[in-house]
Structure 1
Amino acid sequence: MTFQITVQPSGHQFACDEDETVLAAAMRAGVGLPYGCKNGACSSCKGKVVAGEITHKPHQRRALSEEEEVQGISLFCCAIPHSDLVISAREVAGSGDFPVKKMPSRVTTLEKVAPDVIVMTLQLPANEVLEYRAGQYIEFLLRDGKRRSYSMASAPGAGPISLHIRHMPGGLFTDQVFSTLKERDILRFEGPLGTFFVREESDKPMVLLASGTGFAPIKAIVEQMQASRSQRKMVLYWGGRRPRDLYMHALCEQWARELPNFSYVPVVSDALDEDGWTGRTGYVHQAAVADLPDLRDWQVYACGAPIVVESAKRDFVATCGLPEDEFYADAFTTEADLAQP
């Protein structure tokens, strides 16, 4: 059985099979619903069911509470329809402009830039091109149908694809990357995916907020803005537990020197005496709240651990007046995150 999904306010319609999620059907039909993790952990695809019946596949309660479900709020990546639906969602223009492909790639370099971070570069086959928007991600296709997601850390058209991979001990993929993977190995992936990218129709100043390897898509965004000679103001807040977690600190300082509309604020939460850290301390989003108490005319692009993204959105909206629909995020969820209730 197939159900018809109608999106408000655009009026776009698409078909959804009875065992298919609303998000999967929308992606198949080229309808640009926002999304991130696709597995019920990040809340990027949250919207409202105006009419019709759904059930949710397993998901995290922090992404969708029981109270929200009662109010008709839904995670479309987990929503299975049982009737025709009318949903309310903010569509993302341009999210379907580039085809999603499955392709092989060859590992060209593996550079350890921190004790738990490797920068990997991938070379595509000579006759292949991956078109994407800075901020999007790819999914590696692993054995037994498993997938692992990583954001491109290089701007589109800037040569080999670059990824920043943090070691998660016991992780199916990252244990391999940090032990047995070597240059010239072949990896298969699918992409581009995700709706985390700059809304180019706006000229509002931007807060770029990153924690840990959430810096990867932010780096691609800055490089894309640099390549296009954008005049938009950008303020980057990058947070880590210790200074070594800011593994491309020198590059950010270089941007601050060379780009007239760019500034950089590094923040460290748990520095040790031996680190000799004299910069900002505490939580990275709170540094932005202190510096920018009025965000009513700004956009925010946040990437990192779910707790960082959730805290930033809450405080930026409640404390700084940021319009809720001007907060764009990519929460980096791990298998450990997904295992939580």
Structure 2
Amino acid sequence: MPSGPSWALMSPHRDDPVRVRIDPAGLEFTASPRDDLLTAARRAGIAIRWSCRNGVCELCEARLKAGRVLNTRTDQEIEPPATLMLCRSQPRGPVELEIEEVMAAGSQTPQQMQATVSDIKTLSHDVYRVTLTLPRRRELAFHAGQYLSVRLPDASPSYFSIASSPSRGDIELHVQAATDWASAQRVMDTFHTDGQVTLELPHGKACLASAPQQPLVLVAAGTGFAQMKSIVDYLRETGLQQPVHLYWGVRRHEDMYLRSLAYQWAEDWAPFSFFPVVGDDADNDWSGHHDQLVRAVLAGGYDWSGVSVLASGSPPMVYTLMDALVEAGLPESAFLSDVLEYAPRGQ
């Protein structure tokens, strides 16, 4: 159990926020003594199960390991060891809880599920928005920024970022299916003709289990935007006030298939800024364009020692970006990308 003054029992001023920790996920957030712990956790973007909000359904049950809380139903203080309902508990100082169902980023076990194709829309000359419906959606938990695989008979899995927020009832994918990309064409043919598909999800550790406590820089190339859309939708739901900067790099103007949506985010959500990076020159070599994207990110002039970065794109782009940002002062631990997991250096 943590010790020391940060976890000492205290009676803070009624408006002073206190620190709350959830184990074994190791997630932390702040809560006002006027907030119930369920409201504060969900405001921080932590996926807590709940239903009734009056302490009856017991879905938001937690074990109190350290600190004190006020039971708002009985008006009595609770001390550990004890079981409590988050929706009926206000913190009376720093609190440590245990909730087995709350998962750390990227720690969920993937599972296979059948999905129904409910909609397909063309977003550009070779990108399609595919909407999938899951019959047991409430049984599935994933974090913003994770991805899934589509499982077809006699074929290797095809991987796609989930473009929708974890709170959405359906699953959105952005599928790039150029005419010379046989595997993607086969996936799209299945979506169009079968109407049913087997998924395995969730995958990926480059994701958010809670709202970040420092500015966030998102860097996407091409359809890597799908991962960023899931993250932005999720962070907007939490009411995050930390700055979020999105850099989206493409080869040609027509490849930026949801540019208007990104500009709409910037107009509607004050913490968000959008920086499109388009190559569109005579030499259409992508290696040159990912260098251009990296230069644009570096030109942001951020204090790299105090931000987090999440990147989605090809391994050359991701590693070029990571090396440049680490040299500029970014801690390597603050750089997240699925590339680091599926295409580690030296392999």
Give the TM-score of the pair, scaled to structure 2: 0.63
Contact 2:243 2:271 in 1 (8 A): yes
Cα distance between partner residues in 2 of 1:293 and 1:145: 44
After TM superposition, the structure 1 = structure 2 runs for residues 175-186 of structure 1, keeping only pairs within 5 Å, are 175-179=185-189, 181-182=191-192, 185-186=195-196
Relative distance call for 1:282 and 1:250 in structure 2 (3 A) is: farther
Task: Tell me if the contact between 2:107 and 2:205 (Cα under 8 Å) persists in the aligned partners.
Answer: no
Alignment check: 8 A CA contact 1:210 1:303 kept: yes
Matched, 1:166 2:176: yes
Cα gap change, 1:313/1:281 in structure 2, threshold over 3 Å: closer, same or farther?
closer
Q: 1:332 to 1:313 in 2, by over 3 A?
A: closer
**Residue of structure 1 in register with 2:135 after alignment:** 125
2:330 to 315, 322, 326: 322
Q: Contact between 1:206 and 1:299, CA under 8 Å: does it hold in 2?
A: yes
What code does the residue aligned with 1:297 have? G
Which sits farther off after the overlay, 108-117 or 195-204?
Answer: 195-204
Determine if contact 2:144/2:209 at 8 Å carries over to the other structure.
no
Could you say which residue in structure 2 is the equivalent of 1:311? 320
Q: Is 1:142–2:191 an aligned residue pair? A: no
> Which residue of the partner structure matches residue 331 of structure 1?
339
What residue number does 2:15 align with?
A: none
One-letter identity of the residue aligned with 1:270:
D
Change beyond 3 A, Cα 1:127–1:138? closer
Partner SS state of residue 165, structure 1: strand
* Corresponding residue to 2:207 among 194, 197, 222: 197
Change in 2 beyond 3 A, CA 1:180/1:174 = same
Q: 1:116 aligns with which of 118, 122, 126?
A: 126
Q: Which residue of 1 aligns with 2:229?
A: 219
Q: After superposition, where does 1:26-105 map in structure 2 within 5 Å?
A: 94-95=104-105, 98-105=108-115
Query: Alignment partner for residue 218 of structure 2, among 199, 208, 212?
Result: 208
Residue in 2 aligned with 1:299? Answer: 308
Choose which of 248, 254, 257 in structure 2 pairs with 1:238. 248
The CA deviation at 1:112 is 1.5
- Residues 152, 180 of structure 1: CA spacing in aligned structure 2 closer, same or farther, 3 A cutoff? closer
CA distance in 2, matches of 1:104, 1:267: 37
User: How many residue pairs were aligned?
Assistant: 242
Structure 2 residue aligned with 1:229 = 239
Give the percent of matched residue pairs that are identical in Structure 1 and Structure 2.
Answer: 32
Could you list the runs of 5+ residues in structure 1 that have no partner in the other structure? 1-29, 33-92, 273-279
Q: What amino acid sits opposite 1:256 in the alignment? A: A
Amino acid at match of 1:326: A
CA, structure 1 residues 170+189, in 2 after alignment: closer, same or farther (shift >3 Å)? same
Q: Return the TM-score normalized by structure 1.
A: 0.64
Contact 1:31–1:96 (8 Å) recurs in 2:
no
Rounded Cα–Cα distance in structure 2 between residues aligned with 1:130 and 1:291:
37
